[in-house]
Structure 1
Amino acid sequence: MVMIMDMTTGKVIAEPEEYGDEVLNASWLPPQREPAVQLQLVQVEHIETTPKAPPIDAEHFLEAVYRFQE
């Protein structure tokens, strides 16, 4: 419960009322004139591909890594 009091006398000045309709409906939005965008499913063709070989040899890559660590 919230009470508004005078700090010098300690008397209660006012007791706020419960939340009004303007506070309870603060996040309410009126109906939109334009319809909202609806999500639609789109069928996509799946093309299988074979994995490509890496552009460099793994052994040469590791040799370069170890060479630069020294």
Structure 2
Amino acid sequence: MSDDVKNIIGIVLFFVILWGLKGLIVGEGFFGAITLQLYAIGELASIVIKFAIIIGVIGLIIFLFSKNK
């Protein structure tokens, strides 16, 4: 593996450990905090995808109705 990949993996592990420790302090458990963060990331991705679909449908409607016939 290259050094860049090793550095990225190290940063990811650092954040996973921080999330786990935060969960232990708050009382959610080590893996509880990590799963909550994963759900939050999934929700953000879902919102972005829904927004892109809505903008795409609006753009398609405008394109279809603005054509000169």
Q: What TM-score do you get using the length of structure 1 for normalisation?
A: 0.26
**Hey, which of these two has a bigger chunk of strand by percent?**
1
